[in-house]
Copies of this chain bind each other. A is one copy, B any other.
Amino acid sequence: MPELNQHPENEHQQPSGATRRQFLRGAGTAGAAGVAGLTVMGLGGCAEGAQTSDIRPGQGSAEPGDNDFLAKARVPFDGPHQAGVDTPQQSFIKLIAFNLKESKTSREDVIRLMRLWTDDARRMCSGLAGLADLEPENLESTANLTITVGYGRSLLDKIGLSDKAPEWLGDLPEFSRDELVDAWNGGDICLQICADDRFTLSHAARFMTKTARTYVDVAWMQDGFLHARGSIEPGTTPRNLFGQLDGTANPAPDEHDDIIWINDGPEWLRGGTAMVIRRVAMLMDEWDILDRASREVAMGRTIDTGAPLTGTDEFDDPDFEALDQYGLPVIDPNSHMARAFSTDRSERIYRRPYNYDMPPGPDTRGTSNSGQIFICFQKNPLKQFVPIQQRLDEADRLNEWITHIGSAVFAVPHGTNEGDYWGQDLLEG
Q: Could you tell me which A residues sit within 8 Å of B by CB distance? A: 64-65, 67-71, 91-92, 134-135, 137-138, 140-141, 143, 196-200, 202-203, 206, 209-210, 213, 218, 220-223, 225-234, 238-239, 241-243, 284, 288, 290-292, 295, 303-304, 355, 357-361, 367-368, 370
Contacts and interface: CB of A to CB of B under 8 A. Distances in A.
A141 B231 contact: yes
B70 A243 contact: no
A385 to B, nearest CB: 25
Contacts of A290: 134
B71 A232 contact: yes
A64 B71 contact: no
A390 B225 CA distance: 38
B358 A232 contact: no
Nearest to A142: B231
In the complex, the 6 A-B pairs of residues with the closest C-beta atoms, listed nearest first: A135-B243, A141-B231, A221-B359, A65-B65, A70-B230, A197-B228
B241 A202 contact: yes
Contacts of A67: 64, 230, 233-234
| Residue in A225, A284, A357, A370 whose Cβ sees the most chain B Cβ within 10 Å | A357
8 contacts: A64-B230, A67-B234, A68-B232, A138-B239, A141-B232, A199-B225, A210-B284, A229-B230
A417 B68 CA distance: 37
Contact of A138 (B198, B228, B243, B295): B243
Total identical chains: 2
A290 B135 CA distance: 11
A228 B137 contact: no
A197 B64 contact: no
Nearest to A366: B213
Contact of A69 (B64, B241, B368): B64
A299 to B, nearest CB: 13
A113 to B, nearest CB: 16
A368 B206 contact: yes
A67 B355 CA distance: 23
A332 to B, nearest CB: 19
Contacts of A288: 134, 210
B367 A69 contact: no
A207 B221 CA distance: 27
Nearest to A243: B135
Contacts of A92: 198
Contact of A228 (B65, B198, B221, B355): B198
A225 B368 CA distance: 20
A284 B200 CA distance: 16
A71 B230 CA distance: 7
A422 to B, nearest CB: 22
A198 B218 contact: no
A359 B239 CA distance: 24
Contacts of A304: 137
Given A196-B228, A231-B199, A355-B202, A241 B65 contact: no
B68 A230 contact: yes
A228 B358 contact: no
A367 to B, nearest CB: 6
A367 B70 contact: no
